[in-house]
Structure 1
Amino acid sequence: MIRVLLVDDEALTLELHRSYVERLDGFRVVAECSGARAAIAAILDRDADEAIDLVLLDMTMPDGTGLDVLRHVRARAADVDVIAITGVRDADVVRQVVGLGAAQYLVKPFSFATFRERMEQYAAYRRQARDAEGDATQAEIDALLGALRPAAPALLPKGLSADTLERVSAEVRGGGPLSATETADRLGMSRVAARRYLEHLADVGRVERAARYGKAGRPESEYRWQGRAPRT
């Protein structure tokens, strides 16, 4: 379980990010801070068996900046990873954050789909780093560095939207297996449209399609979330 510290001076943002993390497998929020000093203390003053693994770090706070937090924890050689989550787009700030070893730089506002993608990339990076022992090969190093790079966005078939695809995906992930009719009823869309999105998810390997029996007449397809990497 990856232990997460949330750092942001806005209570509503902390609540939103907490809800996002709680929807992910393998992550758990163990502390929240609304200021730079509190964040530094939360990172440095914990016992080894309760150490923070990942900080979701805002850049602007009343008593300091995310850069201040990063500089302090790096100076103390704290073994903690950081993903900057901020509205700051200044290129010099981005350069400094990356130079201080941040794993990702995520600009607000963003969708849950984007957040999930970055967190899953980070989890893959940790798994690869954990599995690499001794002298790494060039291929292992390339894979480790590549794990944190955002994937190129997949092209959707004509007529499908990314936002609706995310809604359908979330519905199947949280309440599946579902038929096209059930999905349409839950999301307030036509059965034909729901089926197009579900079939696309099946085609790229996100859901598993199976026949549902038990009623008279033709069997109906149902879709169960798989969550594996999409086929290319």
Structure 2
Amino acid sequence: MSVRVLVVEDEPLVAEAHAEYTRRVDGFEVVGVAHSATEASRLLGELPVDLVLLDMYLPDGHGLGLLRNLRAAGDLCDVIAVTSARDADMVRRAVAHGVALYLIKPFTFPMFRSKLEQYAEYRRQLVDAPAEVVQDEVDRMLGSLRVTGVAGALPKGLTAERLQETMVELRQPPGVLSARELAERLESSRVTARRYLEHLAEVGVVVRSLRYGGGGRPEVEYRWQHTAAEGGDEVSRPRR
């Protein structure tokens, strides 16, 4: 059964873009789009909704206010914050109010998709879990929501921690590394370094190109895409 999604975003073009991105992810369907807290409350009372993609800045109130009202009414639908709010206090308050995941605008489709896939994996494990769960099952379910950013569901053998280290190294000027150079910085094998770089290339955070020189075979280099990784191909731009 598809995950039924309500998009809550006040800017019409951005709202439609979020809805279209959602439709592109298998297993998700958009059941409604709301441009205000009032409209979102009405639709939540009329439609079956599993997941809300919630902007924090709405014309008639704050997203956290809407979330508080939902919880007070006993509505347990899940929420992913999709917002330009970057301050740590906002993140803390969002988590305290039951936000499952937090996606900062602007973002790319691969980043958006990875969040929905994290959520889908959490739901799958929750549905498959027995009526009473043991600690390992709880840890596994909640762990599926803690995979960071572009990590999504990492290929076997890769870790979120080493992926973060790879991204830190790639952000250093000039923002381009070969697998050999990354391996030297991380003190790992070239094969391992290439796997992390290839994963980032697949999710659109780096681009591959050939580096010529030295008279030997050209070397593949991976260039950090500032626009893609920090908001290129974006559907949402900070406005407040």
TM-score class normalised by the smaller sequence = 0.5 to 0.7
Q: Could you say which residue in structure 2 is the equivalent of 1:4?
A: 5
Matched residue SS, 1:105: strand
Q: Could you say which residue in structure 2 is the equivalent of 1:23?
A: 24
5+ residue gaps, structure 1? 168-188, 191-195, 198-232
The counterpart of 2:81, out of the listed 78, 81, 84, is 84
Matched residue SS, 1:4: strand
1:78-157 aligned at under 5 Å gives the runs 78-150=75-147, 151=151, 152=160, 153=163, 155=166
CA distance in 2: counterparts of 1:17 and 1:147, whole angstroms: 22
- The percent of aligned pairs where both chains have the same amino acid is 46
Deviation digits for residues 111-153 of structure 1 (CA, Å, limit 9, x no counterpart): 1111111110000000111111222111101001101012423
**Segment drifting more, 96-105 vs 152-161:** 152-161
- 1:161 and 1:127, CA in 2 relative to 1: closer, same or farther beyond 3 A? closer
Deviation digits for residues 150-197 of structure 1 (CA, Å, limit 9, x no counterpart): 242375982768775446xxxxxxxxxxxxxxxxxxxxx89xxxxx79
**Segment drifting more, 15-24 vs 156-165:** 156-165
By relative contact order (CA 8 Å, sep 6+), the higher-ranking structure is: 2
Letter in 1 for 2:29: R
Cα pair 1:7 1:33 within 8 Å, conserved: yes
The counterpart of 2:51, out of the listed 44, 51, 54, is 54
Letter in 2 for 1:5: L
1:168-187 aligned at under 5 Å gives the runs none
Q: Could you say which residue in structure 2 is the equivalent of 1:158?
A: 178
Cα pair 1:44 1:73 within 8 Å, conserved: no
Q: Could you say which residue in structure 1 is the equivalent of 2:39?
A: 38
CA distance in 2: counterparts of 1:62 and 1:114, whole angstroms: 26
Deviation digits for residues 52-104 of structure 1 (CA, Å, limit 9, x no counterpart): 00000000011011001100100011120000000011222211111111110
The alignment status of 1:71 with 2:91, answered yes or no, reads no
Q: Give the C-alpha shift of residue 18 in structure 1.
A: 1.4
Aligned length: 173
**Segment drifting more, 150-159 vs 25-34:** 150-159
CA distance in 2: counterparts of 1:133 and 1:163, whole angstroms: 35
- 1:161 and 1:86, CA in 2 relative to 1: closer, same or farther beyond 3 A? same
What CA RMSD, in Å, does the superposition of the two structures yield over aligned residues? Answer: 2.9
Larger CA Rg, structure 1 vs 2: 1
What is the TM-score when the length of structure 2 is the normalising length? Answer: 0.64
5+ residue gaps, structure 2? 152-159, 168-176, 180-196, 211-219, 222-240
Cα pair 2:111 2:203 within 8 Å, conserved: no
Letter in 2 for 1:101: G
What is the TM-score when the length of structure 1 is the normalising length? Answer: 0.66
Q: Give the C-alpha shift of residue 110 in structure 1.
A: 0.9
